[in-house]
């Protein structure tokens, strides 16, 4: 059904008729785009703009990009001179690209947007927390997305398509209608939604992205283990159950491993120089000769070493010796939204986020690539 908008000026004297304001139309939708840039609540008070004229992987430009407090990404496409059906199809086409983006790519999109348009906050972390009052760390970006077509009107066919996509294709797509009015030189803007935006949106699942493994390993170093000791002697470790220690067997001499302390950040990268072994049996070369961890660490410093009996192989602590290429103290650990993390002690990441993480660590730690 066609949506008609009107604004009436109420009479100030009893008995006088209300006056309908003259519609002026939106001759230039770039003016509307500028107004949205100044105040996104023109569209929705619960959104944060993160991009404008965002170039897709197939060299097209998305008019506007936003997120809400749940991390949902909203593709906003202005009709401009496109036919109604074309703008609906274009929004879906853009969404097919958005669904492939990892969170760090959205973070990069915002940073470029903030720099180009001099936004108040330089990073998405700061903008998100300022807008919604919550940290971006606790939000999963792009688990779902929505599409919004902005127009003065749509034909009946396009409206049927939007309703069908929502109802039967499980796509979250909506249309927003704007009209401009004038009264004694003052200009006004009215807005109407095609579908009530307060209705729960239909989720759009995003596919997990995979890419070839880059040959470099990720290691999680438990925050209850002595990082400074591991940093000084050269090892990573895991134990307490077979699930935690068995993945250490994935590492072989010569492998490169990047080490992260969960909830703290990345603290080092090193080259593996030996195979997995029982932590109490490995001998480290010291100034006073070869010594085991039992000789080098007290129970208070490394309690995991002392929690199992000799015959409890599965729950024992295991280590892999490492020659560190670069390390930092725990207090200087590097962490930011968008870096790879995993609960396994060692894994072979195959997500785009892993490549991004390695590149960021090389930049921050000034490590030259191959």
* Amino acid 157: pLDDT: 75
**And the tokens for 347?**
């894994």
3-class secondary-structure state, position 41: helix
Q: How many CB atoms lie within 10 A of CB 141?
A: 23
Quick check: 1 pLDDT over 50? no
The pTM of the full predicted model, rounded to 2 decimals, is 0.56
* Cβ(191)–Cβ(35) below 8 Å: no
Quote the CA–CA distance of 352 and 89 in Å, as a whole number.
28
**Residue-level pLDDT at 282:** 95
Q: Is the pLDDT of residue 54 over 90?
A: yes
Q: Tell me the pLDDT tens digit for each residue of 203-240.
A: 444 545 567 889 999 999 998 899 999 999 999 999 88
Mean per-residue pLDDT, 254-260: 97
Of 180, 183, 187, the residue nearest 152 (C-alpha)? 180
Query: For residues 6 and 22, what is the distance between their CA atoms, to the nearest angstrom?
Result: 9
The H-or-E segment that residue 93 falls in is: helix 84-98
At 297-354, the pLDDT tens digits run 999 999 888 876 555 677 889 999 999 999 999 999 999 888 988 878 999 988 888 9
Q: Does 284 score more than 90 pLDDT?
A: yes
> pLDDT higher for 109 or 186?
109
Which carries the bigger pLDDT value, residue 81 or residue 18? Answer: 18
pLDDT confidence of residue 179: 73
**Domain 216-364 top-level CATH class:** alpha beta
Q: What is the mean pLDDT of residues 123-133?
A: 90
Report the pLDDT value the prediction gives residue 205, as an integer from 0 to 100: 44
Q: What is the mean pLDDT of the chain?
A: 84
pLDDT given at position 39: 87
Sequence length of the chain is 370
Q: Which carries the bigger pLDDT value, residue 358 or residue 1? A: 358
Structure tokens that stand for 68 in this block = 């809400």
Give the SS3 label for residue 302.
coil
Per-residue model confidence (pLDDT) at position 211: 76
State the DSSP string of 195-249.
S-TTSPPPP---PPP-----SEEEEE--TTS-HHHHHHHTEEEEESSHHHHGGGG
Does domain 15-193 match CATH 3.40.1350.10? yes
The predicted structure's pLDDT at residue 216: 96
Contact 257, 322 (CB under 8 A): yes
Residue 17: what pLDDT? 84
Q: Which helix (H) or strand (E) holds 5?
A: none
Q: Which residues pair with 161 in a beta bridge?
A: none
The SS3 of residue 252 is coil
Q: Say yes or no to pLDDT of 26 above 90.
A: no
CB–CB of 299/329 below 8 Å? no
Q: Helix, strand, coil proportions of the chain in percent (round to 5)? A: 30, 25, 45
**pLDDT(359) > 80:** yes
Q: 3-state DSSP call for residue 72? A: coil
Q: Quote the pLDDT of residue 235.
A: 98
Residue 2 has pLDDT above 90, yes or no: no
What pLDDT does residue 184 have?
80
pLDDT at 45: 82
Report pLDDT for 309: 52
Q: Where are the domains of the chain?
A: 15-193, 216-364
Give me the mean pLDDT over the 146-156 stretch. Answer: 78
Contact by Cβ (8 Å): 324, 242: no
């Amino acid at each position: 059904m066609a949506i008609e908008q009107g604004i009436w000026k109420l009479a100030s004297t009893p008995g006088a008729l209300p006056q309908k304001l003259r519609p002026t139309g939106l001759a230039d939708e770039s003016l509307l785009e500028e107004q949205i840039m100044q105040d996104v609540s023109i569209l929705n008070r619960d959104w944060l703009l993160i991009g404008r004229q965002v170039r897709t992987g197939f060299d097209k430009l998305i008019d506007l990009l936003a997120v809400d407090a749940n991390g949902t990404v909203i593709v906003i496409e202005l009709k401009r001179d496109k036919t109604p059906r074309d703008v609906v199809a274009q929004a879906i086409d853009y969404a097919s690209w958005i669904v492939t983006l990892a969170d760090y790519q959205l973070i990069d999109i915002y940073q470029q947007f903030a720099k180009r348009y001099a936004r108040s906050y330089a990073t998405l972390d700061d903008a998100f927390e300022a807008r919604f009052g919550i940290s971006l760390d606790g939000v999963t970006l792009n688990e779902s997305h929505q599409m919004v077509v902005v127009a003065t009107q749509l034909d009946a066919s396009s409206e049927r398509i939007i309703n069908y996509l929502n109802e039967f294709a499980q796509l979250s797509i909506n249309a927003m209608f704007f009209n401009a009015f004038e009264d004694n030189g003052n200009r006004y803007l009215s807005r109407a939604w095609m579908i009530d935006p307060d209705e729960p949106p239909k989720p759009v699942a995003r596919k997990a992205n995979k890419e070839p493994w880059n040959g470099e390993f990720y290691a999680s170093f438990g925050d209850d283990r002595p990082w400074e000791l591991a940093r000084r002697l050269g090892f990573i470790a895991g134990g307490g159950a077979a699930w935690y220690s068995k993945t250490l067997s994935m590492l072989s001499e010569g492998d490169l491993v990047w080490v992260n302390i969960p909830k703290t950040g990345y603290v080092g990268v090193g080259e593996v120089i030996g195979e997995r072994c029982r932590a109490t049996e490995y001998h480290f070369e010291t100034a006073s000769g070869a010594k085991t961890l039992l000789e080098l660490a007290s129970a208070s410093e490394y309690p995991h070493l002392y929690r199992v009996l000799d015959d409890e192989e599965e729950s024992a602590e295991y280590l892999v010796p490492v020659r560190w290429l670069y390390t930092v103290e725990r207090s200087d650990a590097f962490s930011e939204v968008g870096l790879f993390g995993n609960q396994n002690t060692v894994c072979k990441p195959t997500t785009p986020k892993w490549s991004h993480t390695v590149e960021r660590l090389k930049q921050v730690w000034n490590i030259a690539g191959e």
